Amino acid sequence: MAKLDDRHRRSSSPMSRNRSPAVDRSSATVASSGGNGGPEKRPKYDLDEDSKSEQDVIVDDNNDDAASGSVNGGGAGGSASPKENGGAGDTSAASAAAAVAPTVSAARKERPAGKATPPVGGSAAAAGKSHTPNSTGGRSTPASGGGSGRDLTKHGKHGAGSRGPPPPVPYPPPLSAADLSPGFGGPPPLGMQNPFHRPPLHQLAFDPASAMRSGMAGKPAYSFLITESGGMQPAPFPPDAMVGPGVPRHAKQISSLPHGEVVCAVTISNPCRHVFTGGKGCVKVWDIGAGSRAAPVHSLDCLQRDNYIRSVKLLQDGRTLIVGGEASTLTIWDLASPTPRVKGELASGAPACYALAVSPDSKLCFSCCSDGNIAVWDLHNQQLVRQFQGHTDGASCVDITPDGNRLWTGGLDNTVRCWELRESCELQKYDFSSQIFSLGYCPTGDWLAVGMESSTVEVLNVNKPEKYQLHLHDSCVLSLKFAACGRWFVSTGKDNLLNAWRTPYGASIFQTKEASSVLSCDISADDRYIVTGSGDKRATLYEVAYG
C-alpha cells in the first residue's frame, strides 16, 4: 500500500495538469451580446426577425482563464506510465454515476424503414422516462419513442417489442443569431445549453465534480469503467496508455483561419491540402499549403445569408462536396471544375439537416433531419431511396461503420440507434438520460463514443456490455471524431476545450483550451492534423506531434 500511495503522490490527473497553451485570439473581434453557431448555438423561442442583427452576435465569451503551460497536458512525455486516474476505492462515484448509465434494447425488424408513417399523435408522458440498468439484467422501462425489449447488456439477443405512437414533435423556428455565448459574468441562455432547439428532457443526478474529488488519496478520477452489473470504478490505464505507435504527444497550433462567421462545420481534404469551413450561408475553401499564411481560395454560397451550414462532407475522390444546414435541401458541389459549381440538390421534407455521413464507396449519403428521420440518398441518381424512422426528436449526429453495413445515429430524444443498411431496419437502441449531440464509431471496430448535452463522453463496446464514462468537459460535448488509426479520438465542447482521449478507456492524451466554444472538429486521413471550428468566427488548424 505504501508503494501505491507513493505512486499516486508522484502523479497527477489531467484535472490538475497544465493544459496546452491557449489559442492566440488577439485579432478576434468581440461583440457584446448574443451569438450563434453550428451545433453549439441555439435559437431563442419566439425570437422575431428584427433581432437577427450582427450586433446580437457574441463571438467570444471573454474567458480569461485559459491555462498555459505544457502543450502535452501531462502523461505523454515519453513516460511508460500514464497519469493516474483517481483511486480504486471510488465507491461514491459508482453509486452516483450509475444513474446516467444507458441501456440498449432490441428494435423491431418487421417494419421496413421506407414504408413507415410519420410520427403522429401519442402521449407525451413517456418523454420523461429513461433506462437505468439493473443488477439482475431484467427488462427495462422503455424511454420516449423507444420499443421495449430485452436488455442486451445481459441477454445479448434482440428481443421483440412494440411501442405506441410517439408524441408529436413540433419543429421550432430556424436558427437565429442570438445565442452562441452568454454575456460576461451572466448565466448561459437557453441556446448555449442546447444547440438543437429544445431544452433537455432530463436532469442528471450525477455530479462528476463530486465523483472526481473522491478518488484515492484525493486524486481526482475522470475516467470510469462501468461493469455489466452496473458497478462503477475508476478505469485502470495500461502502462502503454500514453506511448507507442499512433499515440500522439500533443497538438501544436499552426494556423488560424478567419472565416468571419461562427464556424459550425469543418472538414479536411485527403491529401491534406484544403480545409473547408461552414458558417452563415457559405462554405469557404482554404489552401493550407502555405502554413500560417492560409487564405481562402473559394467561397461557396450554399444557403440563404442568415442560415447556418451544419455539416460538410467530402467524397473519397475529393472532387465532390456535400453541404447541409438550415434548409430543406442538401447542395452537391463539383470541386473539380476551375471554379466550384453546384451540380445537384437533394430536397427533403425536413426544415433542416443537422449532420451528414457518406458511405465508404461514396454511393450513398445519409442526412440527419430535424424531424428525426434519417434520409438515405443515392448520389449517382440524386434521389431519396429510403428513410429510417425511429428518433422522436431531431437526429443530431451520425457515423457509419468502415464496412458500410451499419449506421449509428444520435438524437435529441436521448437515444443512440444502430441501423442495418442491407435490411433497412433498426438493430439496436441505447437509451440515455441526456440529449446526444455528437458520436463517432471507431474505425478499427467495437467502440462507439457518444458526446452528450450533460458534458459526459461515454465509450461503449457495441458487442458486449462494457463501457467507459469520461468526465473532463464542463459543458455540452458538441463534436467528436476518431483518428483513422482508431487508437485515439478528440471531443470538443461549449467549455472551449479540445480533449484528446485514448481509445477506449479515455486516458487524457492532451487538452487545449480555445477562446470560445468549439463547435466542430475533424482529423485528417493521415492523423497528422486536427481542425476545429469555433464561436469566435474562425477555424484553427493543429499539427499532431508523435514520438
pLDDT tens digit at each of 547 positions of the chain: 444 344 333 333 444 444 444 444 433 333 333 333 344 434 332 323 333 333 333 233 334 343 333 333 333 333 333 456 765 444 444 444 444 444 444 443 333 333 333 332 333 333 333 333 333 333 333 333 333 333 333 333 333 333 333 333 333 333 333 333 333 233 333 333 444 544 443 333 344 444 444 443 445 899 999 988 889 999 999 999 998 889 999 999 999 999 999 999 999 999 989 999 999 999 999 998 866 677 799 999 998 888 999 999 999 999 999 999 999 999 999 999 889 999 999 998 899 999 999 999 999 999 999 999 999 999 999 999 999 999 999 999 999 999 999 999 999 999 999 999 999 999 999 999 999 999 999 999 899 999 999 999 999 999 999 999 999 999 999 999 999 999 999 999 999 999 999 999 999 999 999 999 999 999 999 999 999 999 999 999 999 999 8
Is residue 507 within 8 Å of 85, Cβ to Cβ? yes
User: Is the preceding omega at residue 504 within 30 degrees of 0, hence cis?
Assistant: yes
Q: Where are the domains of the chain?
A: 223-546
User: Is the preceding omega at residue 443 within 30 degrees of 0, hence cis?
Assistant: no
Position 490: which residue type? V
Cell numbers representing residue 349 in the block: 421534407
Q: Give the Cα separation of 469 and 226 in Å (integer).
A: 7
**Architecture of domain 223-546 in this structure:** 7 Propeller (2.130)
Q: Look up the pTM and report it.
A: 0.68
Measured between its terminal Cα atoms, the distance across the chain in Å is: 33
Q: Give the Cα separation of 477 and 190 in Å (integer).
A: 16
Dmax (CA) for the chain in angstroms is: 69
Cα distances (angstroms) measured from residue 396 to each of 67, 473, 519: 31, 19, 13
Q: Give the Cα separation of 536 and 35 in Å (integer).
A: 10
Q: Give the Cα separation of 98 and 96 in Å (integer).
A: 6
- Best CA proximity match to 453, nearest among 472, 467, 433: 433
- The number of C-alpha atoms within 13 Å of 148 and in the hemisphere containing its C-beta is 11
Tally the residues of the chain: 547
Cell numbers representing residue 121 in the block: 399523435
